[in-house]
Amino acid sequence: MLAPLFYRLFPFLSWPRPTLQLLRGEAMAGITVGLMLLPQGVAYAHLAGMPLITGIYASIIPAAVAILFSPSPRLGVGPTALSALLIGASLTGMAEPGSAQWVVLAAWMAILSGLVQLSLGLVRAGWLLNLVTSPVLAGFTQAAAILILASQLPSLLGMKSDWATVWDNPSLGLFDWRSILFGVLSIAGLVLAKKWRPAFPSAIFVIGITGVISWAGGFADKGGAVVGHLPSGLPQFVWPGLLGWDEFGLLVMPVLVISLVSALETASSAQVEHQQAGTRWDSSQELIAQGMSKMSAGLFGSFATSASFSRSAVNLLAGAKTGYSNLFSILLVVIVVLWFIPALYHVPQAALAAIVMTAVANLVKPRAILRLFAISRIEGGIAVATFAITILTAPRIYWGVLAGILLSSCYFLYNRLHPRIVEVGLHPDGSLRDRHLWHLPTLAPDVLALRMDSELDFASAAALETRAANDWARHPQYKQLALLAQPMNQIDITGVEAFVRLERMAAKRGGLLHIVGMKLPVEQRLKRAGLLQDNPHLRLYRTDAEFLQALAQHSANATIEYSI
């Protein structure tokens, strides 16, 4: 009993024994991902408003923690564009980007969101992630992608002032043509490399080439925007200090949204990995691993991490078989941090913007929202509303997710309050179907046969009672009520009370309440309520066939009595 639990909590113990052949393949995959991770880490730190070195720090200890404790060790964990945008947008107005206070707030966002995910994982409450439906996620991610693209334009264009100044006094002198050239050529190189070979670490080569050209041309000396000095050395444990209650209150909503969005990012990547491997994904253990990763990021001077779909896909494409590949990625980052950080000084910020923009451009998929309308106009509308609210509330973009969750929950509740209730008739194929849809005769002249495609609970009970009462009012010949209970998986106290009222309504009309196909959980609860023992106004049938046979016998007896 203890061994499976032990291996579930410490998944790295089940990794295969390393061999030279295995490590050779894992090293090649890991180096490929590591070469992607370095430039993306710096670029996403810039997007989050953090010191650029923190993007590399987020790729060391937090990534190692996630790999060791994750049931999906081939995930590329570290800084991601969506999490970085949420951090940067949420902290806007609370501190100056890059300042000590900004870093403290970002560290606390990582710690608190990590605590949320860790707690959900420990109580195995990963099902809460289902609150963020596919339409909400589609609308939010596409809006976030557009905001990310817009946020990178100033760096890509080498803008020397803000947009308001450009709008009021448009002039070419407000832009740096050298930055534009670096940015455009970087985008072209990244796009062409992706089409040529998706697993090729094109970002590091763009960084290297633009850095060399920038150094040779004296771009930084002539006022060009470059990465600049980055501190060497490994990240160290840093307690961020305590927050005031006002600051803590401002972080609550962003922390919850980052926890949800990051968990969904991770889920989309992990499911691909496990589908390829033919294994079962443990979502609760994944939450534990990602939560611990985020907490370690906050305690080692970085910002919240997540699983990168692009780096995870490249890792799989490069042939990674185990978590050893990601350990090689981390080792490469450590080597760079210790000895090669000064080489990033001359890299143009326009090249970093190009890396972010090409990585995020794939998220802009308007056809995905249009396809939602083809399936469900209401859910398509929820996606559009989430998209619009996310754009309009920027930089507080977490309101888009929260509004989408609220709309989806209202739509779900509306459907539960208005369940599908049909009167059934006997179809020629022998099944019981919607009588009015298929133009079928009644099962018996005095029987109202209804099927409700829902549980009998507080949300649906009133609808069933209303439907039965209305049908009885329109059709006085109905004396008995037959309820096809196969779709009813549960019944609550409100449903039990409705059950009693339906039985009394049938009894007052001189008939019976027939229950067909009652499931065991419903039957047990009704028995505990004392409603199934020696009840002269109630008849129970296990199958449709048994019910139809009883109806046929009832009709035959009625015919005999009428003849006499």
Identify the DSSP state of 513.
Answer: E
Q: Quick one: pLDDT at residue 559?
A: 45
Q: Quick one: pLDDT at residue 168?
A: 66
Three-class DSSP category at 424: strand
pLDDT at 127 exceeding the cut of 80: no
From 141, 175, 184, select the one nearest 157 (Cα to Cα).
175
Are 48 and 88 a contacting pair, CB within 8 Å?
yes
Q: Quick one: pLDDT at residue 173?
A: 66
Dihedral pair phi/psi, residue 421, rounded to 5°: -125, 125
Q: Quick one: pLDDT at residue 555?
A: 65
User: Per-residue pLDDT averaged across 483-510, rounded?
Assistant: 93
pLDDT, tens only, 380-436: 999 999 999 999 988 788 888 889 999 999 999 999 999 999 999 999 998 999 999
Three-class DSSP category at 212: helix
From 511, 493, 507, 508, select the one nearest 554 (Cα to Cα).
511
Q: Quick one: pLDDT at residue 528?
A: 93
pLDDT at 118 exceeding the cut of 90: yes
pLDDT tier, 557 (very low <50, low <70, confident <90, very high otherwise): low
Contacts of 118 (CB under 8 A, 6+ apart): 287, 288, 291, 292, 295
Mean pLDDT of the chain: 86
Are 40 and 359 a contacting pair, CB within 8 Å?
yes
Three-class DSSP category at 445: coil
This prediction's pTM: 0.81
Q: Quick one: pLDDT at residue 57?
A: 93
pLDDT, tens only, 321-332: 888 888 999 999
In terms of phi and psi (left: phi > 0; alpha: psi -120 to 50; beta: otherwise), the region of 534 is left
User: Per-residue pLDDT averaged across 217-238, rounded?
Assistant: 85
Are 448 and 483 a contacting pair, CB within 8 Å?
no
Amino acid in the structure at residue 252: V
Q: Write the DSSP assignment of 35-50 as a string of letters.
A: HHHHHHHHHHHHHTTS
Distances (CA, A) of 380 to 369, 384, 479: 6, 6, 44
Q: Quick one: pLDDT at residue 320?
A: 76
Pairing of strands 447-452, 480-484: parallel
pLDDT, tens only, 272-315: 666 666 677 777 888 999 999 999 999 998 999 988 877 877 77
User: Per-residue pLDDT averaged across 491-498, rounded?
Assistant: 95
Residue labelled with tokens 């790999």: 67
User: Per-residue pLDDT averaged across 256-271, rounded?
Assistant: 82
Paired strand residues for 426: 432
Tokens at residue 234, please?
A: 């490994």
pLDDT at 375 exceeding the cut of 70: yes
* Helix, strand, coil fractions of the chain, as percent rounded to 5: 65, 5, 30
Between 198 and 340, residue with greater pLDDT: 340
Between 112 and 362, residue with greater pLDDT: 112
Q: Quick one: pLDDT at residue 152?
A: 83
Q: Quick one: pLDDT at residue 162?
A: 66
Q: Quick one: pLDDT at residue 503?
A: 93
